[in-house]
Amino acid sequence: MDSTPEKAVEVINSRERLLVLDNDPRAPLEWLIAALAILFGLWHVATNLFINEQTLWQNAIHFSGFALLASVSHSAFKRSKANSKTLLLDLIYGCLIVVAAFWVAASEGRIYDDTLSVTGQAWQLNFFDWAAGLFLIFAAIDLSRRVSGWVIPILIILSLSYILFLGEHLPGVFRAASLPPSDVLFRTLYNDEGLFGVLALISSSSITLFMIFGGFLVASGASDFVIELSKVVAGRIRGGAGFVAVISSALTGTISGSAVANTASTGVITIPLMKSNGFRPAFAAGVEAAASTGGQIMPPIMGAGAFVMASYTAIPYSQIVAVSIMPAILYFLSVAFIVRIEAVKHRVGEGIDMTIDKAKIISGGLVFIIPLSVMVALLMTGVTPSYAASWSIASLIMVSWLTYLYAKVTGKKGLTDNVMNPKRIASALMLGMQASIMTAVLLVAIGIMNNAIVTSGIGNGFSLMIAQWAQGSVVLAIVLIGLASLVLGMGLPVTAAYIILAILCAPALAGILADTIIVDMLVAGISDPMQLAMFSLVDSPLVAKISSGLSPAEAAQLISAIPFELAITLRPMLVDTEQLTMFLLIAHLIIFWLSQDSNVTPPVCLAAFTAAGIAKSKPMETGFQAWKLAKGLYVVPLMFAYTPLISGNWLEISQIGLFGLFGIYGLNVTVQNYSEGPLKIWHYPILVGGIIGAFWPLNLVANLIGAALIILLIVLSKRENRLNVE
């Protein structure tokens, strides 16, 4: 990577404004912006290690800094009109946001004191409070439009309208009382769920640091190591270029934090490699898009979603990462299975040049493996993610210099290329800041919606709607959430779609999962007097039979008759707290996985479209190929719901994961109508039996039979292929 300051400045520029330093009158302003971005990156490290600001101040500085960067990098003016004057106007706009954010942070104590001194009055906001608060809300709407389009702004406006005046005109569970404007403004600015609340804290204390860490990995040459390592692993396998794409995207996903960025960074290497290996352009692009999407679910970083999940569920980040290891393996192997089938089916050639650059493996490997190992080790000890990320960055810099000194002593020039000198550190910080702009702006802006949802209670209404439509069916609830995630994902980044769906749907889905435990209890019979007293509030003749036990159908019928408000009270009395927490985690993981589908599912699939541009293939055809390759996004969440893949011990998880691979392979064979050779009609009973047996949870006999049937199918299809060749 070119680490010159000019390139460092260019890295913060979006498609709307390309800043160029060469003989340009705007250069002094651009240098100023670059310096501010670098200092802002250093502040994120310092504020999470040494500086002890109040949370409100930390989040206000975080948003105002990224608002300034977003203002100049996503200009309000068309690129054709970009000049020194428009840059200056964008810079002034960003500075006004900084002033407004600082005013709001500094005014909290005064507003509380003034309000307490005036009995019976609403929040005492002066003219400057109103001006600063309304300007910040406008800026959040405007900047979210600039970085991601109109969907988030429209949702923010609707959410504010809902608690101001719209809610009182809606029917049923969506009816809500209107709040006075001063109350809405105060809650939006100062509530824990508001503009500078929990979502902003997640961004300022965790996500941005991991984005900076990703910038350091890229600047240090770790991405080169990923490609070279992938060649070592898959270079001599039929269709090995496809496996290179899968492996490199899985590893790069821990760096980029974005499926589209992952596709763009590794795709320029892997897609031409796959095409030269004989893969069809649309399929090659689909492999890259599907594998890059999997980077968001790949431990130890898992994009921004894992941090949000840890905050909402109060489950340690390290636990979320640990339970996500096996699902991630299942996903990437599901993509690899189709690559293998495609290679055999279309006789993709071998013999492609897979020359390995040993210097890149050694130098890049050290700055990839050691810092990531430091991060994983620290996370497993229970330290905060920000602490782990900061020390990982420090270890990367140290390793790069140790490698450099070793190379100087031994004369190995290839190891001196990626030393983290000041220029390269500046470049890494710029990369991290650029990668963080959209996420930081959106998480703060979504805080406005989050406050409206919590304040109005509409989340309970939405959960009730999901529960009513699903009628107690976990599959139907997952289908409904999947459809909602697909629609939201057409206009929202994945993290934003996940946050909205998690707020609205996770409680309902967790409740439906918990009800499966209650159904089993009702079938066995309940004798506890307090629990029986709670059920007596349910208007159903089946209540009289609870003590003696119900049939499964009767138990499901009784559960569906429990009012939503009573169910919320009843579940904690019947289901262990630890189990309820686990069901909440499972619900969030299901939603998190389903929210990824918009990257690869037509009609709007940005990762697939990005890959199509590199492969020069048809976008919709590429989208369809990516959707087929990424079907693990739908299969694995069903395993979350119906097996102990998340909640079991390691022996149970290993059994489910191992035999689940046979089932996933069988599903891929079904879609492709091909295994190691073409399938005959009489192969399908073997295939169906193998899939059912492989997926049967914790039934070792059925699992062994299922695996044996899938292996038999592979042998038979391979024999069929050999006969056709002869």
pLDDT of residue 246: 86
Kindly state the average pLDDT of the residues 132-148: 93
Cross-strand pairs, 678: 674
Q: Which of 92-96, 309-313, 582-586 has the lowest mean pLDDT?
A: 309-313
Task: Give the whole-angstrom CA distance, residue 246 versus residue 234.
Answer: 10
pLDDT at position 259: 77
Is the pLDDT score of 442 beyond 50?
yes
Tell whether the model's pLDDT for residue 384 goes beyond 70: yes
SS3 state of residue 678: strand
703 vs 263, residue with greater confidence: 703
Q: How far apart are CA 704 and CA 423, in angstroms?
A: 57
* pTM exceeds 0.85, yes or no: no
pLDDT, position 11 = 37
Integer CA distances (angstroms), 162 to 133, 453, 499, in order: 19, 9, 19
The amino acid that residue 353 corresponds to is: D
pLDDT value of position 15:
34
Residue 7 clears pLDDT 70, i.e. is over it? no
Average pLDDT over residues 537-547: 83
What pLDDT, on a 0 to 100 scale, did the predictor assign at position 71?
92
Asked whether residue 163 carries a pLDDT value surpassing 70, the answer given is yes
Percentage of the chain surpassing pLDDT 70?
88
Least confident residue range of 62-66, 71-75, 300-304, 321-325: 300-304
Q: What is the pLDDT of residue 658?
A: 95
Does the pLDDT of residue 607 top 90, yes or no?
no
* Confidence (pLDDT) at 642: 93
Report whether pLDDT(1) > 70. Answer: no
Residue 53 confidence class, pLDDT cut points 50, 70, 90:
confident
| 138: pLDDT strictly greater than 90 | yes
Confidence of residue 87 (pLDDT cuts 50, 70, 90): confident
> In the predicted model, what is the mean pLDDT of residues 318-334?
91
Task: Calculate the alpha carbon distances from 559 to 183, 275, 502, 518, 538 in Å.
Answer: 39, 54, 23, 8, 9
Q: Where are the alpha helices (DSSP H) in 471-605?
A: 474-489, 494-524, 529-535, 552-561, 564-574, 577-594
Distance of CA 706 to the CA centre of its chain: 33
| Three-class SS state of 674 | strand
DSSP string, 616-666: T--HHHHHHHHHHHTTHHHHHHHHHHHSTTTTS-HHHHHHHHHHHHHHHHH
What pLDDT does residue 236 have? 65
Q: Which range among 299-308, 431-440, 443-452 shows the weakest confidence by mean pLDDT?
A: 299-308
Mean pLDDT, range 676-687, rounded to an integer: 90
pLDDT on residue 310: 85
How high is the pLDDT of residue 129?
93
Of 104-108, 314-318, 391-395, the range with the lowest mean pLDDT is: 314-318
Among 60-64, 171-175, 320-324, 497-501, where is mean pLDDT lowest? 171-175
724 vs 279, higher pLDDT: 279
In this prediction, residues 609-638 reach a mean pLDDT of 88
pLDDT at 5: 33
For residue 9, name the pLDDT band (cuts at 50, 70, 90): very low
Does 639 score more than 80 pLDDT? Answer: yes
- Predicted confidence at residue 254, as pLDDT, reads 63
pLDDT digits (tens, 9 = 90+) for 337-352: 999 998 888 887 655 5
Asked if residue 41 lies in contact with residue 433, where contact means CB atoms within 8 angstroms, the answer is yes
**For 258-267, 271-280, 424-433, which range has the lowest pLDDT when averaged over its residues?**
258-267
Question: Rounded mean pLDDT of the chain?
Answer: 83
**What's residue 12's pLDDT?**
36
For 550, list phi and psi in degrees, rounded to 5: -115, 165
User: Per-residue confidence at 100, pLDDT binned at 50, 70, 90?
Assistant: very high
Which pLDDT value is given to residue 59? 95
- The more confident residue out of 243 and 181 is 181
User: Which of 8-22, 380-394, 546-560, 640-654 has the weakest average pLDDT?
Assistant: 8-22
Residue 239 class from Cβ within 10 Å (0-12 exposed, 13-18 middle, 19+ buried)? Answer: buried
Distance CA 444, CA 59 (A): 9
| pLDDT at position 164 | 92
Average pLDDT of the residues in 241-263:
74
- Average pLDDT value for residue range 65-94: 82
Contact 433, 37 (CB under 8 A): yes
Residue-wise pLDDT for 567-591, tens only, equals 888 888 888 888 999 999 999 999 9
Q: Tell me how far apart the 2 most distant CA atoms of the chain are, in Å.
A: 94
Do the Cβ atoms of 531 and 573 come closer than 8 Å?
yes
Burial (CB count within 10 angstroms: exposed 0-12, middle 13-18, buried 19+), residue 581? middle
Q: Which carries the bigger pLDDT value, residue 84 or residue 320?
A: 320
Q: State pLDDT tens for residues 483-533.
A: 888 777 765 677 778 888 888 888 889 999 998 898 888 888 888 888 788
pLDDT at 657: 95
pLDDT at residue 717 tops 80: yes
Is there a contact between 257 and 494 (Cβ–Cβ < 8 Å)? no
Q: What is the pLDDT of residue 21?
A: 34
Taking 50 as the threshold, does the pLDDT of residue 23 lie above it? no
